[in-house]
Amino acid sequence: MSETVTEQASSALMNVYNRFPLTLVKGKGSYVWDDEGANYLDFTSGIATCNLGHIPDSVEEAVKEQLEQLWHCSNLYHIPAQKKLAEQLVKYSCLDQVFFCNSGAEANEAAIKLAKKYAKDKGWEDRTEIVTFTQSFHGRTGSTMAATAQEKIHQGFTPLTPGFRYLPYNNIEALKQVHNGKTTAVLLELIQGEGGVNPANIEWLTNLRDLCHEHDILFMVDEIQTGMGRTGELFAYEQFGVDPDVITLAKGLGSGFPVGALLAKKTVAESFQPGTHGSTFGGNPLAMAAGLATIETIMNNSILNEVENKSRWMAEQLATLKQQFSSIEEVKMSGLLIGVQMKEEAAPLVTAFREKGILVLLAGSHVLRILPPLTVSQEELTTFITVFKEILQAKGANQL
Ligand SMILES: *Cc1c(COP(=O)(O)O)cnc(C)c1O
């Protein structure tokens, strides 16, 4: 792909990212600046991480205050902000207890371990499998890579961690295969982010949830991309009306500070005891200060209501563009997690946007993934739509 540049062979960095030809050095609100002083409207939000925009005042203040108190202490001691953040997450969710870690993959690793331990504690020796779904993305570590049902992510890394079984996402017929006597949990995204912004079909999802209930299978939801207000509710499961037994969080939880979390119902969480799981950095005071200020900012302002309004406006505008331009195949969105499926490869559009001062992402090859900060202004949304229209028009003219 000509759009991205891989690390030079001479670089001191391992060559694991296809990077855009851009060096970012500063951010505030909806904007980032490059090393030449040019600014960009950031509709990637660090991949749904800077949900409150870059360096939100309330989080900056809390982290600065904590910087002068204590940066780190072991989890062998009590950490007040950890307790407070856990209480907030419990208050605003259907889950009862929280374990903190540092990233999404780590949160899913913890969920996978918890599911295994839960089955062992119940005496279900035969239950050794976790069901995940095609096009999912759960992370890059050993187990989370194996949980991710995408062949391209497994390539070169066999033998994979055993114990995962893949079923087709949104396929009602395949639900028959969920319960086979071996399944201890299902793990899924309610809107697949990396996989192309695919929302779960509500009938399929409800059936899956009921099946899990019926057979004592843990219903575990990966909210790493969909959580922290991205869909217009604090958690996407609220939108879909299904109560999970376990959820995992990361990306938006710390406004850019690395924080991950595993949340579970008490009956499940009890399977973790001293000695079964842990983390050196997880729940560190600085990370907790960032997380606490983030959730308080989201819940104590009308941010979630605004996401709904902004989402509705974007849906209308994008529907109009779809009518005008046949190159748009489908608009898939929930809150401000927006996918525009194009008929052709979408990478050239990402370049066109950047040349016009707006950063957007891909999800797969044909889907433009648009993740504005939840705090985006109406004016910034209008700018985006105007530029999108210009790009589609220019593209149409080129094709003639
Ligand atoms: C980003 C992401 C992950 C992995 O998170 P990391 O912090 O990169 O380990 C897992 N699941 C989903 C749904 C994600 O979007």
Alpha-carbon dihedral 219, 46, 93, 282, rounded to 10 degrees: 80
Selection from 291, 234, 266, 302 nearest residue 93 by Cα: 234
CA 108 to ligand 1 center in whole angstroms: 8
pLDDT over 90 (residue 6): no
| Mean pLDDT across 251-280 | 98
pLDDT over 80 (residue 264): yes
Residue 195 — very low, low, confident or very high, per pLDDT cuts 50/70/90? confident
**pLDDT one-digit tens code per residue, 145-189:** 999 999 999 999 999 999 999 999 999 999 999 999 999 999 999
Let me know: does 300 contact 97? Beta carbons within 8 Å.
no
**pLDDT one-digit tens code per residue, 283-340:** 999 999 999 999 999 999 999 999 999 999 999 999 999 999 999 999 999 999 999 9
Nearest-atom number in ligand 1 for the CA of 226 is 13
Domain ranges for the chain, please list them. Answer: 5-55+302-394, 57-299
Pocket probe for ligand 1: among 51, 224, 281, the residue whose CB has the most ligand atoms within 8 Å is: 224
| Mean pLDDT across 248-260 | 98
**pLDDT one-digit tens code per residue, 34-44:** 999 999 999 99
Nearest-atom number in ligand 1 for the CA of 250 is 7
pLDDT over 70 (residue 399): no
Residue 2 — very low, low, confident or very high, per pLDDT cuts 50/70/90? very low
| Mean pLDDT across 209-213 | 98
CA 320 to ligand 1 center in whole angstroms: 32
Nearest-atom number in ligand 1 for the CA of 144 is 10
| Mean pLDDT across 364-376 | 97
Residue 9 — very low, low, confident or very high, per pLDDT cuts 50/70/90? low
Write the class of the CATH domain 5-55+302-394: alpha beta
Strands 164-167 and 129-133: parallel
Nearest-atom number in ligand 1 for the CA of 48 is 15
Right CATH for 57-299 from 3.40.50.300, 1.20.1050.10, 3.40.640.10, 3.40.50.10420: 3.40.640.10
Task: State the distance between the two ends of the chain, measured CA to CA, in whole angstroms.
Answer: 24
The CA-based diameter of the chain, rounded to the nearest angstrom, is 68
Residues with CB under 6 A from ligand 1: 103-105, 108, 137-139, 189, 193-194, 222, 224-225, 250-251
Dist CA 133 CA 130 (whole Å) = 10
Binding residues: 104-105, 137, 140, 222-225, 279-280
Residue 193 token pair: 């982010």
Pocket probe for ligand 1: among 112, 144, 251, the residue whose CB has the most ligand atoms within 8 Å is: 251
CA 103 to ligand 1 center in whole angstroms: 7
Closest C-alpha to ligand 1, atom 10: 138
CA 400 to ligand 1 center in whole angstroms: 41
